[in-house]
Amino acid sequence: MKLQYLTGFILSILATTAFAQDNTIGTIIYNEDATDGGFNLIYPHNQPDAFLLDMCGNVVHKWENADTLRPANVMYILENSDVMTTYRPADFSGDAIWAGGGGATVERRTWDNEPIWSFTRNDAEYRLHHDIQPMANGNVLVTAWEQRDSLECIEAGRNPENLTSAGMWSEVVWVIAPGDDGLGEVAWEWAVWDHLVQDFDSTKSNYGVIADNIDKIDINFGLELNAAADWLHINAIDFDEYSQHIMLSVPTFNEIWVVDYGNTTSGELKWRWGNPMAYDRGDSTDTKLGFQHHTHWLDLALTTNSPDYGKIGVFNNRVQGDTSEYSSVHTLLPMFDEYENEYYVDFETGTYLPTDFDWTFESPDPNTIYSPIVSSFQRLENGNSLICSGSKGDTREYTQEGELVWHYKTPFLNQAGTGSPQSQGTILNPMQNLTFRASRYPADYPAFDDIDFVTGLPIELNPIMLASCLSGCDLTLSLDSISFDTLGIATVTVGAVGSSQINIIEWMSLADSTIYPYAQELTFITSEAGDFMITVTDLMGCTYSLVVSVIFDGLEGVDNPTALKFGLYPNPSNGFMNISFSKTIHQADIKVIDMQGRIVFSLNNTSSLNESLDLNHLNSGTYFVSVSSDEGFAMTKILIQK
C-alpha cells in the first residue's frame, strides 16, 4: 500500500533574454541607466491609432480611431490628461487639395478617448495639414493650405511660367477656439497672402526690392514639390507663450519663420533664419537648412533651469541638398530683444542672427540618422537627444557624448495604404513604416499624476524582450490546490499572476525530459511519482518555472493498515501548511514529529477533508507528519524553511 503526497517549490526564474542584435523592430536597445526615461508617443502613418509606450516598447495607453481614418500627423498630451489629436479620411482620392501631410480634423479628447470638441476644414478652399500647437488658454494653432487660382497668383506678381492650372496653395495660420456646440471656430488668422513681395512685375502693388523687404515673402521663391501648387508646405508650428510668437517651418524656403501674435505688431514676420537667399541676401554658402522639420522651442521636456530652455531645435533633413545622404539635428539661439519685441540683424550682411547653429549632432554612422522627409528632434531634461528619422520609423536616444542608449523602430508595414504590425525579426525598409514624429513625455509630466498605467503588450507580434526590460517582469507561479479522486489520481492546479497574457505553458518530467500534452493548461493530472516542472512564458517574454514533486511514501506489509492518500503543501514551507485528503476520514489524529522522535504538534479527532496546520513555532528543519484514522495510516516528511 502506498501513500501519495505532492509538494510545490520554486526551482528558478528562467528569463528569456534577447540582445540588441536579435531585435529588428520595437525596442532594440535600452540602457536604463543612461536614458532619460519616461513615455514615448507615436502616431504612425497608414493606420488609425496613437500609442503611448514605455521604454521597453510596451503599450501603456492607446487612442483608437475608426479604420477609415488616418493620422493627420500629430497628437499632443495636455497637462490635464486630455489630448489634442488630428485625423483625416483614409481615402483622399476625391479631395480638391491633397499632398503629403494633408489633414482634415483637429479634435480635443479626454484621456479615455471621448470627444470634447473638434474642427474640420477639408474642401476646395482650405485644408488643414501637417501640424498643430495647443495653447495654454485651450485654443489651438493650426496650419492650412489656402487655394489661390492662377489669376490671383498673377495679380500678386507670380511668374506665370511657374504656374499650373491648379494655381497655388498659399498658407494661413488659424487660432481655433472651442465653441458652445462642440465645434471649433476660427478666432484669429494670419495669411501669407497679406505679406507678399515680388520683383517680377512692376505693375503690381506689391512690387519692391526683395532685399529691402526682409519681413515680406517673395512669391517667386521656393522649391517645386511633387504637387506643384504646394508652394510653402509649412510642416511645423509652435507657440511661445512668453514672447507671444508663432514659429513656422517652411521647408521649400529652407527657412524658419517667427510671426508675432499677441503684441502690438501682431501678424508681422519678426524673424526668419536658415536661408537668406529667400530674401535675396547671401548665397548658397549661407544656407543652413535643407527641407527641415520639427522646428520648435526646446521646452516640452525641459525645465527653466536647463541651459537649452528657450533655444530652438530642428531636424535638418537634407543637409547636402536634395541629394543628401544624411541628416543632422541642431539647436540655435535667436538674439531677441524682449523689450523692443525685435530680433537682431547682422548690419554688415542684413541677415538675421545668429550666424550659425550653437550645437550640431550627426550620427557616427551617417545612415542611422537620415530621412529626406518628416522626422523630429527633442532635447531631453538630462541633455540627451531623442531623434526620429521618420521615413524609416527609426527613433534613437543619444547621450551628449554620442552614445546610443535607446533605439526603437516602428513595427508597422505599410501595404497599399494600410499598416499592420509585424513579427519581431522582420526587416523594414525606408518608407514602409513612416512615423511623422516621436515625442517623449517625462514620467512626472502632470498629465500622468492620476493615471494608473496598465502595461500591455508591445505593438509587434512575437515580441522578444530585452534583458534590461526583463528586470521588470512580475510573472509568478504558485501552487493553488491539490485534490485527489478515489482512484488516487492527483490533480495539481497552479496559479499565474502578474502576467500580461500567457503565451506558452509547458509541463515536463524532470526524470526523462518528457513533455506532456498540457500546452495551454495550468492544471496537471498524474498518478505517477516524480518531479514535474511547469514553465510559463507570457507575451512579454517573461518566464517563470515551478517544480511539483509527486512522491510515493508510506508503510507497506501485510500487517500495515490501509494507507491514506493525502497532500501536504507547500513543502518546503515557512511554517503554514495545508493538508487535504482524498476521501472522507473519521476521527483522524495528525502528529508532527521531530528528528528526535518528539511530538511537536498534534491535531486530534478531525474529520475535515482539508485542514490548515500552523507550524510557525517550529524551527527550520526536517519533520515527519503522521496521520491515523479509522480509514488507515500514513507518514511522510516535510521541510520547514524560514
CA–CA separation, 247 vs 141, rounded Å?
A: 11
Mean pLDDT of the chain: 88
Share of the chain above pLDDT 70, in %: 90
Strands (E), 445-529: 476-484, 490-497, 502-509, 515-516, 523-526
Average the pLDDT over 307-325 and give the result.
Answer: 90
Cβ atoms 467, 32 nearer than 8 A:
no
CA–CA separation, 105 vs 14, rounded Å?
A: 49
Count Cβ neighbours within 10 Å for each residue of 398-422 and write b for 16 or more, e otherwise: bbeeeebbbbbbbbbbbeeeebebb
Cβ atoms 369, 328 nearer than 8 A:
yes
Share of the chain above pLDDT 90, in %: 64
pLDDT category at 16 given cuts 50, 70, 90 is very low
pTM above 0.75, yes or no: yes
User: Containing H/E element for 151?
Assistant: helix 150-155
Q: Reply yes or no on whether the pLDDT at 332 is more than 60.
A: yes
According to the 3-state scheme, what is the secondary structure of 217-244?
EECCCCCCCCCCCECCCCCEEEEECCCC
3-class SS of residue 253: helix
pLDDT category at 470 given cuts 50, 70, 90 is confident
CA–CA separation, 440 vs 77, rounded Å?
A: 11
List of residues 6+ apart from 560 with CB closer than 8 A: 1, 633
Q: Please, which residues bridge with residue 108 across strands?
A: 84, 117
User: Containing H/E element for 483?
Assistant: strand 476-484
Average the pLDDT over 394-413 and give the result.
Answer: 97
Residue with cell 510642416: 235
Cβ atoms 249, 235 nearer than 8 A:
yes
All CATH 2.60.40.1220 domain ranges of the chain, comma separated, are 554-642
Q: 576, exposed or middle or buried, with CB in 10 Å at 0-12, 13-18, 19+? A: exposed
pLDDT digits (tens, 9 = 90+) for 110-124: 999 999 999 999 999
Cβ atoms 392, 373 nearer than 8 A:
no
**Nearest one of 361, 433, 372 to 403, comparing CA atoms:** 361
β-pairing, 196-197 with 217-218? parallel
Counting runs of H as helices and runs of E as strands, what totals does the chain give? 2, 48
CB 333: neighbour CB atoms within 10 A?
A: 15
Q: Which residue has the higher pLDDT, 485 or 2?
A: 485
The pLDDT value recorded for residue 519 is 53
Q: Reply yes or no on whether the pLDDT at 371 is more than 50.
A: yes
Cβ atoms 303, 381 nearer than 8 A:
yes
C-alpha cell at 312: 530652438
Length of the chain: 642
pLDDT digits (tens, 9 = 90+) for 45-55: 999 999 999 99
C-alpha cell at 631: 480509514
11-18+465-547: CATH number: 2.60.40
Strands (E), 114-268: 115-120, 126-134, 140-148, 168-178, 184-191, 196-197, 217-218, 236-240, 245-250, 255-260
CA–CA separation, 356 vs 186, rounded Å?
A: 37
Dihedral sign for Cα 232, 238, 240, 244, please: positive
Q: Please, which residues bridge with residue 479 across strands?
A: 494
Q: Which residue has the higher pLDDT, 299 or 232?
A: 232
Average the pLDDT over 368-395 and give the result.
Answer: 96
pLDDT digits (tens, 9 = 90+) for 517-575: 765 678 877 767 667 788 888 877 788 888 776 554 443 333 444 556 677 778 888 89
- Cα 348 to the center of its chain, rounded Å: 48
Q: Reply yes or no on whether the pLDDT at 393 is more than 80.
A: yes
Cβ atoms 260, 341 nearer than 8 A:
yes
CA–CA separation, 542 vs 564, rounded Å?
A: 40
Average the pLDDT over 183-211 and give the result.
Answer: 98
Most confident of 17-21, 292-296, 558-562: 292-296
Q: Reply yes or no on whether the pLDDT at 18 is more than 50.
A: no
Q: Which residue has the higher pLDDT, 518 or 598?
A: 598
CA–CA separation, 35 vs 371, rounded Å?
A: 23
The pLDDT value recorded for residue 583 is 72
Residue with cell 519616461: 38
C-alpha cell at 454: 496598465
Average the pLDDT over 349-353 and give the result.
Answer: 95
Dihedral sign for Cα 89, 90, 92, 93, please: negative
Tell whether omega for the bond before 354 is within 30 degrees of 0, i.e. cis. yes
- Rg (alpha carbons) of the chain, rounded to whole number: 34
C-alpha cell at 389: 528619422
Q: Reply yes or no on whether the pLDDT at 290 is more than 80.
A: yes
**Nearest one of 470, 442, 444 to 455, comparing CA atoms:** 470
Return phi, psi of residue 193, to 5°.
-60, -20
Average the pLDDT over 410-419 and give the result.
Answer: 95
CA–CA separation, 218 vs 192, rounded Å?
A: 10
The pLDDT value recorded for residue 249 is 98
pLDDT digits (tens, 9 = 90+) for 39-83: 999 999 999 999 999 999 999 999 999 999 999 999 999 999 999
pLDDT digits (tens, 9 = 90+) for 145-195: 999 999 999 999 999 999 988 999 999 999 999 998 999 999 999 999 999
CATH class as words, domain 554-642: mainly beta
